[in-house]
Amino acid sequence: MDTNTVFEIIEKLDARIFNYELNKRDSDDMMVLSDLGAITALEDFRDYLQKGFIEPKVSQAEDQMNEGGY
Domain that holds residue 35: 3-60
pLDDT at residue 36, as a whole number: 83
pLDDT at residue 40, as a whole number: 93
Is residue 67 in some structural domain? no
Q: How many domains does the chain have?
A: 1
Is residue 43 in some structural domain? yes
Is residue 70 in some structural domain? no
Q: Is the pTM of this model over 0.75?
A: no
pLDDT at residue 21, as a whole number: 84
Q: Distance between CA atoms of 70 and 61, rounded to whole angstroms?
A: 8
Is residue 66 in some structural domain? no
pLDDT at residue 30, as a whole number: 63
pLDDT at residue 69, as a whole number: 55
pLDDT by residue (tens digit) across 11-57? 999 999 998 888 777 766 666 777 788 899 999 999 999 998 888 88
